[in-house]
Amino acid sequence: PTWQVQDKADANNVAYTTGKLCFHTDYPVLQHPPGVQLLHCIKQTAAGGESEVVDGFHVSNKLKKQNPQAYQILSSTAVDYTDVGVDYCDFAVQCKQRIIDVDSRGQAVRINYNNATRDTVFDIPAEKVRPFYAALKEFDDLLNSAEHKFTYKLKPGDIVTFDNWRVLHGRQSYQSGSEVTRHLEGAYADWDVVMSRLRLLRKSILNRT
């Protein structure tokens, strides 16, 4: 299934407005967020609407080096994500995620960060709240540093695909008009599906040779 990213009057998501989209990964509100995201540019606004991406693993490693305590906080604190609304169907989903998900060696394996769906509920001891937000601000500042982010503008016909577990994406704002001025069509794929398709493709190529 595909979904449409364009501004609309009854928007229930910042993505469906002309406003700025801050860096985020999609659907940390799900226990298993989509692994791969594809965006197809159908229509592009003349001014604004530039896309932005940043390597979450690179930024996480940098945070780990310059502030190990901040890294430890973000990789161990469970954050509530909640999303309720109507989009093709009624939905109400909730999940707890660590913003930096790590493996047994403490290495980042998935970034779960989306302020639009981060809940107001935050059930941690009061004395840990300030340290958490200080760590989150340092991480967010690194994400938005000109040194780390890459800005580009999609043209109609362009398709971009990226690792939703690693790459955070965003969008600069643009002017609204009397009609839709920017239109992207998106889709998701899970990593197990992608890898199985790649194995089949590799087998097919080897058989031909």
User: Domain spans of the chain?
Assistant: 3-207
The Cβ of residue 168 has, within 10 Å, a number of other Cβ atoms equal to 24
Q: What pLDDT does residue 110 have? A: 97
Q: Are 23 and 144 in contact (CB under 8 A)?
A: yes
pLDDT per residue of the chain (209 residues) written in tens, 0 to 9: 898 988 877 776 778 888 899 999 999 999 999 999 999 999 999 999 999 999 999 999 999 999 999 999 999 999 999 988 776 667 788 999 999 999 999 999 999 999 999 999 899 999 999 999 999 999 999 999 999 999 999 999 999 999 999 999 999 999 887 788 899 999 999 877 666 666 777 777 778 76
24 by Cβ neighbours in 10 Å (0-12 / 13-18 / 19+) ranks as buried
Pick 3-207's CATH classification: 3.60.21.10, 3.60.130.10, 3.90.1150.10, 3.40.50.720: 3.60.130.10
The three-state (H, E, C) secondary structure of 147-205, written as one string: CCEEEECCCCCCEEEEECCCEEEEECCECCCCCCCCEEEEEEECHHHHHHHHHHHHHHH
Q: What angle do CA 49, 54, 57 make, to 5 degrees?
A: 160
Q: What pLDDT does residue 197 have? A: 67
